[in-house]
């Protein structure tokens, strides 16, 4: 089966240093693929290149939704319009705008009546956002901002959702809530590439996992298998 | 007479507000103080002058034409000079210096091509008569200037605050990367903003040219000093602030000239600037930088 997204030989870097050294990965339609690794392993850099925020130095990124196209190096706004939507690290909600305006921007290319319908669906999923539609996003709590960032991405009805550290800096109860929502999105058939430092939570809901170490794939396999790997349990699961 | 001075002050203030609103929009979205803004003001006036003299167009056609010519130049300057700096994430000072150089280049070019003598609109380009309201006399030109400035300011506010395009512009201003992730073409939005700002500067040039009936290449320099005062007093990047501060400055200048001395009126803008910053360092509507980001 052709993967929805398939990456080969991806090389990424800042200034003179390479950060990611020619990695390959594949994301099958309808699955959650998790990318785990310690701080500085290159996880966020990889996501930024997939969403177009960063240009790869080498390698190919193939997108097979309908026809298969090469999207490495394409501008971020074009990649977003293909249905690859990133929830960036640190949420990056539009702090000066209201919750409703943030959501509207998620469906920027959609006519207003359709955007309103999608907003209803997002609010049904995140009722707390519904109570705060007129509030300025900058005043929301960290957990609410994460929900808003995810809700905003869902407004685009993405084919592939790229989640960058959705649990970062959040209280354990909120993390549980966020991961329950991620699991429910998969149950609805969405495809998710999840980058997480919280390896145990990520491996618990993922189908497939890659372990990244200093810009190279150290290990990959079914998430359950990876979770049982002694190296992984020692290094990331604190067992 | 106070009422008459108030009317004159509001009309002058409307041109300052219009000028400043384009300037502050450019800053608010691009994050760069673009010194070439004064050039668009002068170019708009010249394009309108040329279209009334050379093409015999009426003022209602010359105004949008002047604005459009200025807008196109603003897009060209931004695309040629600032796009590269933005991509390289150059410091703000670098952009400021580049726009300073461009300003000197463009003024010199305009002076060489058009001469530095003061030009006037052809007689009768606009004859709106005059109206009396009690003892207050309002010229047709004043009505036109105030009306046009009002329409443009309201249209711009409606666009930025109330439309989908405005939402995208604000998103790009606040966080270009996040906006790109929403599928918004940031480069295109910056071009739209350049055009709008340049066109508003150009329209202000046409209206000020009409108000004083004096057009010359360096007219923008004189205006830029006021523009700076207005956008800083209003709060950098804030459209409502620029509107209010522009009106205040116009009133203050006219009242000073009428009741104190016309030689003092140039000091007013800067006295106002210093006084505002003294009490409100971020301007009337200024927000802390951390919250803006």
The H-or-E segment that residue A67 falls in is strand A67-70
Helix axes B239-259, B2-30, angle to 10 degrees: 150
Residues in chain B within 8 Å Cβ distance of A101: 167
Q: Which pTM does this prediction carry? A: 0.89
Note the ipTM here. 0.92
What pLDDT does B289 receive?
A: 43
Please give the helix or strand (H or E) that residue B64 lies within, else none: helix B59-77
Nearest to B186 by CA among B177, B196, B199, B197: B177
Q: What is the pLDDT of residues B168-213, one digit of tens each?
A: 999 999 999 999 999 999 999 999 999 999 999 999 999 999 888 8
Q: How far is B90 from chain A (nearest CA, A)?
A: 15
Contacts of B185 in chain A (CB under 8 A): 75, 77
Determine whether the interchain pair B178/A97 forms a contact, defined as Cβ–Cβ distance below 8 Å. Answer: no
pLDDT of residue B275: 87
pLDDT surpassing 70 at residue A238? no
Interface test with B, best of A105, A116, A153 (most B CBs within 10 A): A105
How big is the CA angle at A35 (ends A33 and A39), to the nearest 5 degrees?
Answer: 160
Which structural domain, as residue segments, surrounds residue A138? 5-235
Which of A51, A80, A105 lies at the smallest CB-CB distance from B171? A105
User: In chain B, which residue's Cα lies nearest the Cα of A93?
Assistant: B178
Q: Do B183 and A109 touch (CB under 8 A)?
A: yes
Least confident of A65-69, A196-200, B150-154, B271-275: B271-275
Identify which has the larger pLDDT, B284 or A239.
Answer: B284
Chain A nearest CA to B173, separation (Å):
10
Tell me the chain A residues in contact with residue B170 when contact means C-beta distances shorter than 8 Å.
Answer: 94, 96-97
The pLDDT mean for chain B works out to 89
- At B109 the pLDDT is 94
Residue A100: which CATH number? Answer: 3.40.50.300
Are A75 and B175 within 8 A, CB to CB? no
Task: Tell me the per-residue pLDDT of A80-121, one tens digit each, with 9 for 90 and over.
Answer: 999 999 999 888 999 999 999 999 999 999 999 999 999 999
Instruction: Check CB contact of B175 with chain A, cutoff 8 Å.
Output: yes
| Domains contained in chain A, number | 1
* B165 and A CB contact within 8 Å: no
Answer yes or no: do B167 and A109 touch at CB < 8 A.
no
- List pLDDT tens digits, range B36-48: 999 999 999 999 9
Beta-carbon separation of A94 and B164 below 8 A: no
State whether residue B117 sits within 8 Å of chain A by CB.
Answer: no
Indicate the burial class of B157 (C-beta count within 10 angstroms; 0-12, 13-18, 19 or more).
Answer: middle
- pLDDT of A226 > 60? The answer is yes
Mean predicted confidence (pLDDT) in A28-52: 92
Q: What is the pLDDT of residues A142-191, one digit of tens each?
A: 999 999 999 999 999 999 999 999 998 888 899 999 999 999 999 999 99
Which residue of chain B comes nearest to A81, CA vs CA?
B183
Residue B58: helix, strand or coil by DSSP? coil
Contact A158, A83 (CB under 8 A): yes
What pLDDT digit, counting tens, does each position of B105-141 carry? 999 999 999 888 999 988 777 777 788 888 888 888 8
Whole-number Å distance between alpha carbons of A23 and A11: 7
Are the CB atoms for A194 and A206 separated by under 8 Å? yes
For the segment B43-55, the average pLDDT, to the nearest whole number, is 94
Domains of chain B as residue ranges with CATH:
2-292 (1.10.3470)
Backbone angles phi, psi at B260, to 5 degrees: -110, -85
Say if residues A105 and A152 touch (Cβ distance below 8 Å): yes
Average pLDDT estimate for A189-196: 94
pLDDT of A135: 95
Q: Which residues of chain A neighbour B181 with C-beta distances below 8 Å?
A: 51, 53, 76, 80, 85-86, 88, 153
A40: confidence class by pLDDT, cuts 50, 70, 90: confident
Confirm or reject contact between B180 and chain A (CB < 8 A): yes
B182, A95: Cβ pair inside 8 Å?
no
Helix (H) or strand (E) holding A199: helix A199-205
The pLDDT assigned to B155 comes to 93
The HSE-up count of residue A143 (CA atoms within 13 Å, CB side) is: 14
Contacts of A218 (CB under 8 A, 6+ apart): A37, A211, A212, A231
Residue B179 touches chain A, beta carbons under 8 Å? yes
């Amino acid at each position: 089966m052709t993967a929805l997204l398939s990456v080969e030989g991806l090389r990424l870097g800042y200034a003179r240093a390479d950060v990611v050294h020619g990695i390959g990965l594949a994301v099958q339609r309808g699955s959650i693929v998790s990318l785990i690794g310690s701080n500085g392993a290159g996880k966020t850099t990889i996501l930024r290149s997939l969403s177009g925020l960063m240009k790869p130095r080498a390698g190919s990124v193939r997108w097979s939704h309908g026809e298969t196209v090469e999207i490495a190096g394409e501008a971020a706004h074009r990649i977003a319009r293909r249905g690859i939507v990133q929830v960036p690290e640190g949420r990056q909600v539009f702090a000066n705008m209201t919750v409703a305006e943030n959501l509207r921007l998620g469906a920027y290319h959609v006519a207003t009546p359709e955007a309103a319908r999608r907003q209803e669906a997002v609010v049904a999923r995140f009722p707390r956002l519904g109570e705060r539609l007129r509030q300025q996003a900058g005043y929301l709590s960290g957990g609410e901002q994460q929900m808003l960032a995810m809700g905003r991405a869902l407004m685009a009805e993405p084919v592939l959702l790229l989640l960058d550290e959705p649990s970062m800096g959040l209280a354990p109860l909120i993390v549980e809530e966020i991961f329950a929502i991620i699991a429910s999105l998969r149950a609805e058939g969405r495809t998710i590439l999840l980058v997480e430092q919280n390896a145990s939570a990520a491996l618990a809901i993922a189908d497939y996992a890659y372990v990244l170490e200093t810009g190279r794939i150290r290990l990959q396999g079914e998430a359950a298998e990876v979770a049982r790997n002694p190296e992984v349990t020692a290094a990331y699961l604190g067992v | 007479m106070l009422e008459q001075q108030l009317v004159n002050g509001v009309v002058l203030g409307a041109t300052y507000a219009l000028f400043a609103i384009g300037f502050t929009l450019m800053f608010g979205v691009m994050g760069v103080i673009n010194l070439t803004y004064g050039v668009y003001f002068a170019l708009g006036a010249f394009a309108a002058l040329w279209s009334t003299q050379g093409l015999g167009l009426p003022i209602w056609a010359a105004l949008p034409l002047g604005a459009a010519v200025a807008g196109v130049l603003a897009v060209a300057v931004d695309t040629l000079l600032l796009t590269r700096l933005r991509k390289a994430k150059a410091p703000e000072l670098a952009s400021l210096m580049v726009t300073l150089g461009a300003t000197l280049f463009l003024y010199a070019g305009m002076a060489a091509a058009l001469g530095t003598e003061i030009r006037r609109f052809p007689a009768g380009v606009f004859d709106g008569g005059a109206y009396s309201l009690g003892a207050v006399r309002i010229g047709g030109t004043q009505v036109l200037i105030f009306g046009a400035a009002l329409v443009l300011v309201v249209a711009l506010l409606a666009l930025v605050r109330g439309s989908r395009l405005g939402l995208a512009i604000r998103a790009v201003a606040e966080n270009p990367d996040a906006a790109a992730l929403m599928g918004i073409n940031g480069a295109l939005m910056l071009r739209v903003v350049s055009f709008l700002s340049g066109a508003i500067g150009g329209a202000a040039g046409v209206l000020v040219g009409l108000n004083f009936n004096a057009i010359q290449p360096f007219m923008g320099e004189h205006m830029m000093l006021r523009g700076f005062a207005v956008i800083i007093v209003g709060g950098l990047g804030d459209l409502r602030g620029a509107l209010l501060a522009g009106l205040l400055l116009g009133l203050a200048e006219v009242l000073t000239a009428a009741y104190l001395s016309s030689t003092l009126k140039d000091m007013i803008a800067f006295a106002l600037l210093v006084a505002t910053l003294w009490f409100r360092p971020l301007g009337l509507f200024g927000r802390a930088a951390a919250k803006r980001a």
